[in-house]
Amino acid sequence: MSRILMVSSEAAPYAKTGGLADVVGALPAALQQLGHEVAVLIPRYAGTVARSPRQVTDPFVVQLGPYAWRPSVYTTAEDSPFFFLDLPEFYARDGIYGDRRGDFGDNDLRFGMLSLAVFEFARRMFRPDIIHCHDWQAGLTPCYLKTWLTQEPTFYKTKSIETIHNLGYLGYFGRGSLERVGLPPWLFRTDLVEFYGGISLLKAGLVYADAITTVSPRYAQEIQTPEHGYGLDGLLRSRSQDLIGILNGVDYSTWNPETDTAIPANYSAADLSGKAVCKRELLREFGLEHAPLDRPLVGIVSRLAGQKGSDLILDAAPALFGEDLSMVVLGSGEPSFEQMFRQIRDAFPERVGLRLGYDDGLAHRIEAGSDMFLMPSRYEPCGLNQIYSLRYGTVPVVRATGGLDDTIDGETGFKFWEYSGYALLLAMQAALRAWNDRERWTRMMRTGMGRDFSWMASAVQYSTLYERLLNP
């Protein structure tokens, strides 16, 4: 089997802002079960200091652009696959990518350092067959590998993979970043790293990686179109033979109604009685205890933003709440959408509960206590909540895009295609009609609960890709 070195800006539970961390935190264990040796390198942020106490390398020199730096590496335990690049000047800050004032102005240097220091880590600690890079923050690694290190014997046979978790984040910086991250001027070409007058660190990875993956088969198709390609669709079409969509998995040890300690009652497909308890307690938690239990309860756990379809909910709200349903919402995001959901709650106080912010335990209780889960995303590379919903017997209503389209079908949920409030309303009305057919609804619940989206299925596909790269 192969030696895989992953490079990422996040990995759960050490540093997390979104789904990227969940993938990098969970995939290594599944790959190890298949026999691969795996190491993961992420920065040692201020929040990871207490969890990474053991230094495993002396400071070493990394020449990034005109300056030399001396990072070192830490780990959590002797047998841990997770390692942390320590350079306080770059990473010991309040925030991973920025603070309340915005993104850090030197993020090109911070993640250029991560992308380059991985090679010194590899020389000292873990010599890989494949370097698996995640999102723009590691996008320079394939570029360095194919430009700086082509004559380096250590990496002569090393292959690289670039995984796109969300193409909307391009790692775009001005032209001056080319010199700052140590790239030669000749790379400033439209077919290489130049991007609309600046450079894109993600594009660098997509140009130079031996293979490209993204987090669902449908999203792999969508990013090759102008609508979802963010200016890189032509490049991705030119590399379509090297591009594959591998659906993210979920961790059923955490998201499982039979064992979940965050919910008031456990239940299973064989015995659904605990779900009614979860619904009653969820309504009480949101101040909706007078809502009848036979009225369907719609759950939303989401970033409140245009990408997540928040505007469609506003468009559909007058007609939607003409139907017999209640809704609970947990999320935060753009101020305009937060205010929009406050207005919906104030307009329908007996039927809408709202919590602004994020609460992991409450997210579990919404999955367990809701009857339906609404995800009307404009685009969704993979999505996890619809998969959690299936396991919790909470029927998803989703827009058919990206991973939502790949994971939901007519036996387990409801989909709509057009991006409009009217299309959302029609899908919800179809779900409400099905709700009134209790036999059909219970069958959909149990079918969804039986679907398997565990990490092992995804790991097998990655393993196949690794084997193909190393043995073409």
Is there a contact between 138 and 114 (Cβ–Cβ < 8 Å)?
yes
Q: CA 124, 127, 131, 133: dihedral to nearest 10 degrees?
A: -20
d(CA 41, CA 6): 6
Token readout for 133 is 């890079």
Residue type, 211: A
Task: Outline where 50-137 has alpha helix (H).
Answer: 88-91, 107-124
**What is the longest distance spanned by two Cα atoms in the chain?**
71
pLDDT of residue 51: 67
- Start-to-end C-alpha separation, the chain: 15
d(CA 184, CA 182): 7
Among residues 206, 207, 196, the alpha carbon closest in space to that of 231 is found at: 196
Is there a contact between 218 and 194 (Cβ–Cβ < 8 Å)?
no
Domain extent listing, the chain: 3-249+456-470, 273-452
Q: Which residues pair with 75 in a beta bridge?
A: 54, 83
Is there a contact between 301 and 366 (Cβ–Cβ < 8 Å)?
yes
Which residue has 């293979």 as its token pair? 211
Segment holding 195, helix H or strand E: strand 194-195
What are the residues whose beta carbons fall under 8 Å from the beta carbon of 160, sequence distance 6 or more?
Answer: 130, 131, 132, 133, 141, 142, 145, 146, 208, 209, 210, 211
d(CA 268, CA 274): 8
d(CA 79, CA 330): 37
The domain 273-452 having CATH identifier 3.50.50.60: the answer here is no
Angle among Cα 299, 300, 303 to the nearest 5 degrees reads 170
d(CA 259, CA 256): 6
Strands 297-304 and 211-214 turn out to be: unpaired
pTM, to two decimals: 0.92
Domain 3-249+456-470 shares a fold with domain 273-452: yes
pLDDT of residue 191: 97
C-alpha of 351 from chain center: 31
Residue type, 36: H
Q: Which residue ranges of the chain lie beneath pLDDT 50?
A: none
The domain 3-249+456-470 having CATH identifier 3.40.50.2000: the answer here is yes
Among residues 369, 375, 368, the alpha carbon closest in space to that of 397 is found at: 375
Region at 283 (left for phi over 0; alpha for psi -120 to 50; beta for the rest): alpha
What are the residues whose beta carbons fall under 8 Å from the beta carbon of 23, sequence distance 6 or more?
Answer: 134, 165, 215, 248
